[in-house]
Chain A
Amino acid sequence: MVILKNIDTNIIQYISILGSVVFIGLILMLIRNKRIKEEFSILWLFFGLVFLFLSIWRGSLEIIARILGIAYAPAAIFLILIIAIISILIHLSLITSRLTDQAKVMIQELGLLKMEMDTMKKQSKPDCPEDSHTEG
């Protein structure tokens, strides 16, 4: 316990603030370079700001922990982090499901279109040998 007393807990605060700022900056840069669409970055930005807020105002974590009945305040940070990760993962599942649906429709339409086009091609070249067979 003697060792702990000598620790300057301000250091972790500086690191947290710096980390949050770098994180938000990274996301903003990715949006700017059009590597992420705004729609997909909102959750990242939101939780980046939450962590920036928590690292600037340290007392807020104690308050949150007290409200939620968490005896060990730093555990609250894990709770918030897990909520952040799970909500982003669910969001990703939503996006993947939508993409799967869109891809399905596109594959179906592409198949039907290709067939239509082949039929039209055959009709426009009636003497094409491929077309010699008739229905029935």
Chain B
Amino acid sequence: MVMKILAIVPSFNEAENIIHVIESIKEENPLIDILVVNDCSKDETGALAESTGQASVVNLSSNLGIGGAVQTGFKYAMRKGYDIAFQFDGDGQHLASEIKILLDPILHNEADVVIGSRFCQKQNGFRSTPLRRRGIKVFEILNSLLIKQRITDNTSGFRAYCKKAIHFLAENYPDDYPEPEAVLVLGKNGFKLKEVPVCMQERKRGNSSITGIKSGYYMIKVLLAVLVNAMRSRSAKD
């Protein structure tokens, strides 16, 4: 049986990168369907994505942030009956050549969720700034303690999900800055997580969504969310 695979590409003001992102995925594997979730970009992201004719495009009428945008992708994947969905950011930091590495553990039934990690193996490539790496380390320790599976890159958005996980996340995906929280929620609900080593590129153009004061807010918000989530019982999140 051929697996139906969906690439969820959340994008906000990525007019400069989006066409390249779509083409690189299709070049890598033409059988993968692409869903671009245009999170109410102020530029031409949505129109450009549509112009390629290689991707379906959801245009959100208000900006939901990365969590709400990616969740839209899960809802789509669930309704269209996809077997595997993976997140591939619209800013070009993930490498299409590594999609295969990311999907393999799910295709071979070794895991329900696969996270592309910059840290689980010595390697080259972009590994974030020193300060951010320290923040990421905090999540590693905290989440590993809470779910008893060691996840080295909790902030990575390069992730693949099996059908069961897609259905779960369509209802239970966290808002705002969802990545570390999602690891915890998935781990607590018995999903088998696995990390694979990947490289990431520093974004080509445009700006990161988290800078300056926002980094402090990010850490506090996500730590709070993770800790509160740890107190919840299984899948009690609504």
Q: Is B64 an interface residue (CB 8 A)?
A: yes
Q: Can you list 6 contacts pairing A with B, beta carbon distance less than 8 Å?
A: A107-B68, A108-B64, A111-B58, A112-B58, A135-B53, A136-B30
B60→A108 contact, CB < 8 A: yes
Q: Say whether chain A's binding surface is mostly helix, strand, loop, or mixed.
A: helix
B170 and chain A: residue at smallest CB distance: A108
Contact of A108 among B26, B54, B56, B72 (CB under 8 A): B72
Quick one: given A104-B68, A107-B61, A107-B64, are A112 and B76 in contact (CB under 8 Å)? yes
Contact of B175 among A104, A119, A135 (CB under 8 A): A104
Quick one: given A103-B62, A104-B68, are A115 and B56 in contact (CB under 8 Å)? yes
Q: Is B57 an interface residue (CB 8 A)?
A: yes
B72→A112 contact, CB < 8 A: yes
Q: A111-B37, A115-B56 are in contact. List 4 more A-B contacts (CB 8 A).
A: A104-B64, A110-B60, A111-B72, A112-B79
Chain A residues 77-136 with CB under 8 Å of chain B are 103-104, 107-108, 110-112, 114-115, 119, 133-136
A115 and chain B: residue at smallest CB distance: B58
Quick one: given A103-B62, A104-B68, A107-B64, are A112 and B57 in contact (CB under 8 Å)? no
Chain A residues contacting B152 (CB-CB under 8 Å) are none
**Smallest Cβ distance from B197 to chain A, in angstroms?**
30
Q: Is B71 an interface residue (CB 8 A)?
A: yes
The interface of chain B, by Cβ under 8 A from chain A, is 26, 30, 37, 53-54, 56-62, 64, 68, 71-72, 75-76, 79, 175
**Smallest Cβ distance from B38 to chain A, in angstroms?**
8
How far is B51's CA from A133's CA once the two chains are assembled, in angstroms?
Answer: 9
Contact of A114 among B26, B59, B76 (CB under 8 A): B59
**Smallest Cβ distance from B191 to chain A, in angstroms?**
22
Chain A contact residues (Cβ within 8 angstroms of B): what range?
Answer: 10 to 19
Chain A residues contacting B56 (CB-CB under 8 Å) are 115, 119
Chain B residues contacting A134 (CB-CB under 8 Å) are 53
Chain A residues contacting B68 (CB-CB under 8 Å) are 104, 107-108
B30→A111 contact, CB < 8 A: no
A136→B54 contact, CB < 8 A: yes
A108→B75 contact, CB < 8 A: yes
Quick one: given A107-B64, A107-B68, A108-B75, are A135 and B54 in contact (CB under 8 Å)? yes
Contact of A107 among B57, B60, B76, B79 (CB under 8 A): B60
**Smallest Cβ distance from B225 to chain A, in angstroms?**
13
Chain B residues contacting A114 (CB-CB under 8 Å) are 58-59
B71→A108 contact, CB < 8 A: yes
Chain A residues contacting B26 (CB-CB under 8 Å) are 136
Chain B residues contacting A108 (CB-CB under 8 Å) are 60, 64, 68, 71-72, 75
B67 and chain A: residue at smallest CB distance: A104
A115→B64 contact, CB < 8 A: no
